């Protein structure tokens, strides 16, 4: 079938005089089902609509938006697979040096707040053409929200972009309904009835079964109002139970969110992923070296959508919802067969998963008819008594994929929810995960080990993670394997003071492990954690939460996790002093750092050190500390060598 048109010449070659839709995107054009613009475009095409792509237009030039002419039905706008601000900036505010979604990884090819900029660019050129926003940036900013990068409370992106509609969530069903309505002659201002959309109006008298949120002005004036509004929104993300939400703005304007679109059935999911994608980037990018992001997904399979894990720092509840949607084994095997035929395929399927790899069924049967519970989670703080834990379907799928001719190894690189894994009384999947689907190391995400912080993260208690670790190592031992765990850890999440950060450092000390990478908490739109960060309030219960906003304290919390790094010494020392834990500065094996012999380190300090660590002379204590430290370094070096060896094998 070929790529969608990106120029007038392409339109002529395909016999198209005027496109139905022009899709403006912040990413390079990659015709692969892991890219939202490819899915939406191919879905529309399968329903008889023509779509052209304008990729990464020069937002400073109005002509860049006219290269495909005026569309018959409307412009579609997406900033790309990532929020443009997350794509551009580290949490520190520094600009990322590369962009994996741009040809050659070149940065600066899209503007900040790309969906807003593109929307206004289109509106300046085409006054009367419908503009529909979609994608992650629009979806998570669909109502008033906190913007970390400007440290401000922003209006709905619908207003700032001058767009007519937002198609939020995954959007396959809502975009077809929008297209059919526009094609039938209904004016875009009258499209107020489509699930999964957000529109603006000055009339709300005819809206039934709706919930009025606090007004924008009220939320901007009083952050607690925003926390209350967000909790209402969070409880209305399910298509079965969600109400219509209304948010008032000055001058009599209302932003109205319809309930989410219904989840896709397995047959509908299969149909979406079996559309005629080219499965790669547009050939015009070859000269630049292609699009780096393709390497991560080219040989990966998306088996599910949605997540009932409920992590507070994740926006999946707002974007994909909590209802699990899955593809059939037949569809996945068919896609795997296409991958095997590609010349670049070396025998390795890089991933079979989704937001959470081992979720292949609803958490309970009630979800299928009544939706998810509004006021309780499936796994947090404890697994729900109604939770149905069953890995048999996922296990059967993985066995079929392993058996395909030409497949050497099937990896699982999506997140594994370890508390769900432990809740399964049948260890068969756990054993086969360890035996067949790990490449030397398994990445897991405990995020922290302080129960105080974990409760704010929406993650299971430390004891649950430790049970998982013991079981993982036991199974490895039984199978005669030496494989490691790589824990993802997060610093400075709301609820974490220096006390909790030091607690995490001590845990890592006892483990003999220092992570190479640590993620500072990144406040992205429409997460529970971001609301905590902005308001200092837990929206779930209205309680106050400690929030680390000071950049220097953030640096200290991060440094504590990597306390062995010599570059972090001064930050770690300062953190320990401020946290009242100077007992961790010394020569004992329990200490995190040793004192440096400077003017600060006096005979009095040395005497204190003896008092803390026992009546040993400094030389003996130092010798013991060197042995302990040397042992840990040896373990770490062996760990790195093994990981390097296994990575090379893969």
Helix count and strand count (H, E) for the chain: 25, 22
Q: How far apart are the first and last CA of the chain?
A: 34
Q: Using CA atoms, how far apart are residues 188 and 179, in angstroms rounded to an integer?
A: 10
What does the buried/exposed string (b/e) look like for 213-238 if buried means 16 or more CB atoms within 10 Å of the residue's CB?
A: bbbbeebbeebebbbbbbbbbbbbbb
Domain with residue 483: its CATH number is 3.30.750.200
**376 belongs to a structural domain:** no
The single-letter DSSP state of residue 557 is H
**306 belongs to a structural domain:** no
Q: For position 616, what pLDDT does the model report? A: 39
Is the pLDDT assigned to residue 634 strictly greater than 60? no
Is the pLDDT assigned to residue 644 strictly greater than 70? no
Overall average pLDDT of the 469-493 stretch:
95
Q: Using CA atoms, how far apart are residues 407 and 411, in angstroms rounded to an integer?
A: 11
Could you read off the pLDDT of 390-443 as tens digits, one per residue? 999 999 999 999 999 999 999 999 889 999 999 999 999 999 999 999 988 998
**221 belongs to a structural domain:** no
**613 belongs to a structural domain:** yes
Phi, psi (deg, nearest 5) at residue 330 = -60, -45
The first and second tokens of residue 413, run together, are 């690189």
Q: For position 131, what pLDDT does the model report? A: 98
Could you read off the pLDDT of 344-360 as tens digits, one per residue? 999 999 999 999 999 99
Peptide bond into 441 cis (omega under 30): no
**Of 517, 564, 386, 529, nearest to 458 (Cα)?**
529
Q: For position 603, what pLDDT does the model report? A: 55
**609 belongs to a structural domain:** yes
358 contacts 397 by C-beta, under 8 angstroms = no
Q: For position 638, what pLDDT does the model report? A: 37
Please report how the helices 36-46 and 172-183 are oriented relative to each other, as an axis angle in degrees rounded to 10.
50
Q: Using CA atoms, how far apart are residues 539 and 226, in angstroms rounded to an integer?
A: 9
User: DSSP string spanning 60-85?
Assistant: T-GGGG-TT---SSEEEEE--SS-HH
Please report how the helices 569-578 and 551-561 are oriented relative to each other, as an axis angle in degrees rounded to 10.
110
Could you read off the pLDDT of 133-169 as tens digits, one per residue? 999 999 999 999 999 999 999 999 999 999 999 999 9
Q: For position 602, what pLDDT does the model report? A: 56
Q: Is the dihedral of CA 176, 179, 184, 185 positive or negative?
A: positive
Q: How far is CA 412 from the centre of its chain?
A: 17
Overall average pLDDT of the 224-232 stretch:
97
Q: Using CA atoms, how far apart are residues 287 and 292, in angstroms rounded to an integer?
A: 13
Domain with residue 127: its CATH number is 3.40.50.2300
What does the buried/exposed string (b/e) look like for 553-573 if buried means 16 or more CB atoms within 10 Å of the residue's CB?
A: bbbbbbbbbbbbeeebeebbb
**Domain end point (choices 197, 222, 244):** 197
Higher pLDDT among residues 218 and 514, named by residue: 218
Q: For position 554, what pLDDT does the model report? A: 96
| Cα atoms in the Cβ-side hemisphere of radius 13 Å centred on 488 | 14
**Domain end point (choices 179, 197, 215):** 197
The first and second tokens of residue 480, run together, are 């005669």
Q: Please tell me the total count of domains within the chain.
A: 2
Peptide bond into 188 cis (omega under 30): no
612: domain range? 440-650
**Domain end point (choices 165, 197, 229):** 197
Could you read off the pLDDT of 573-606 as tens digits, one per residue? 999 999 999 999 999 999 999 998 765 555 555 5
**509 belongs to a structural domain:** yes
Overall average pLDDT of the 541-564 stretch:
96
Overall average pLDDT of the 55-79 stretch:
98
Overall average pLDDT of the 516-545 stretch:
95
- Per-residue confidence band for 563, with pLDDT thresholds at 50, 70 and 90: very high
Is the pLDDT assigned to residue 633 strictly greater than 50? no
Alpha-carbon distances, residue 44 vs 133, 135, 178, 316 (angstroms):
15, 15, 10, 24
What does the buried/exposed string (b/e) look like for 589-614 if buried means 16 or more CB atoms within 10 Å of the residue's CB?
A: bebbbbbeeeeeeeeeeeeebbebbe
Region of residue 387 (phi > 0: left; psi between -120 and 50: alpha; otherwise: beta): beta
């Amino acid at each position: 079938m070929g790529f969608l048109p990106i120029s007038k010449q392409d339109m002529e070659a395909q016999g198209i005089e005027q496109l139905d839709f022009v899709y403006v995107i912040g990413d390079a054009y990659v015709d692969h089902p892991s890219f939202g613009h490819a899915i939406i475009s191919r879905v529309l095409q399968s329903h008889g609509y023509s779509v052209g792509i304008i990729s990464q237009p020069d937002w400073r030039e109005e002509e860049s938006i006219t290269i495909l002419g005026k569309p018959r039905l409307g412009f579609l706008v997406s900033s790309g697979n990532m929020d443009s601000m997350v794509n551009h900036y580290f949490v520190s505010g520094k600009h990322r040096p590369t962009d994996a979604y741009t040809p050659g990884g070149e940065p600066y090819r899209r503007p900040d707040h790309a969906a807003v900029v593109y929307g206004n660019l289109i509106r300046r050129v085409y006054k009367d053409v419908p503009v529909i926003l979609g994608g992650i940036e629009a979806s998570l900013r669909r109502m008033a929200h906190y913007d970390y990068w400007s440290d401000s409370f922003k209006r709905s992106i619908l207003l700032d972009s001058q767009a007519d509609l937002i198609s939020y969530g995954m959007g396959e069903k809502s975009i077809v309904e929008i297209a059919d309505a526009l094609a039938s002659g209904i004016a875009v201002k009258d499209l107020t009835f489509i699930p999964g959309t957000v529109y603006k109006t000055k009339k709300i008298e005819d809206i039934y079964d709706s919930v009025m949120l606090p007004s924008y002005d009220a939320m901007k004036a009083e952050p607690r109002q925003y926390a209350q509004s967000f909790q209402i929104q969070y409880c209305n993300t399910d298509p079965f139970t969600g109400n219509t939400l209304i948010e008032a703005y000055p001058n009599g304007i209302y932003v109205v969110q319809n309930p989410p679109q219904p989840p896709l059935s397995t047959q509908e999911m299969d149909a979406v992923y079996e559309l005629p994608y080219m499965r790669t980037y547009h050939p015009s990018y070859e000269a630049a070296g292609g699009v780096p992001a393709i390497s991560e997904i080219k040989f990966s399979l998306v088996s599910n959508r949605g997540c009932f894990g409920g992590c507070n720092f994740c926006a999946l509840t707002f974007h994909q919802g909590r209802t699990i949607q899955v593809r059939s084994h037949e569809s996945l095997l068919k896609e795997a067969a296409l991958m095997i035929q590609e010349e670049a395929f070396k025998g390795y399927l890089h991933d079979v998963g989704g937001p959470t790899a081992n979720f292949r069924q609803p958490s309970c049967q009630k979800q299928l008819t009544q939706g998810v519970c509004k006021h309780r989670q499936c796994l947090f703080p404890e697994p729900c008594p109604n939770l149905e834990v069953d890995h048999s379907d996922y296990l059967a799928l993985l066995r079929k994929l392993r058996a395909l001719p030409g497949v050497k190894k099937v990896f699982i690189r999506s997140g594994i929810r370890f508390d769900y894994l432990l809740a399964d009384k049948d260890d068969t999947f756990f054993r086969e995960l360890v035996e067949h689907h790990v490449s030397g190391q398994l990445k897991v995400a405990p995020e922290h080990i302080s129960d105080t912080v974990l409760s704010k993260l929406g993650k299971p208690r430390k004891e649950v993670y430790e049970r998982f670790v013991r079981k993982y190592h036991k199974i490895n031992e039984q199978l005669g394997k030496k494989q490691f765990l790589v824990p993802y850890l997060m610093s400075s999440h709301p609820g974490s003071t220096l006390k909790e950060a030091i607690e995490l450092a001590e845990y890592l000390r006892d483990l003999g492990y220092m992570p190479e990478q640590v993620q500072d908490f990144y406040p992205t739109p429409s997460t529970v954690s971001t609301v905590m960060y902005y308001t200092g309030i837990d929206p779930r219960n209205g309680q106050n939460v400690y929030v680390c906003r000071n950049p220097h304290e953030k640096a200290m919390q991060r440094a504590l996790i990597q306390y062995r790094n010599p570059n972090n010494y001064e930050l770690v020392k300062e953190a320990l002093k401020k946290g009242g834990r100077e007992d961790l500065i010394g020569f004992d094996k329990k200490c995190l750092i040793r004192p440096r012999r400077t003017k600060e380190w006096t005979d009095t300090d040395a005497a204190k050190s003896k008092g803390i660590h026992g009546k040993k002379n400094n030389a003996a204590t130092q010798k013991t500390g060197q042995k302990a430290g040397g042992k840990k370094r040896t373990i770490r070096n062996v760990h790195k060598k093994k990981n390097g060896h296994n990575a090379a094998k893969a």
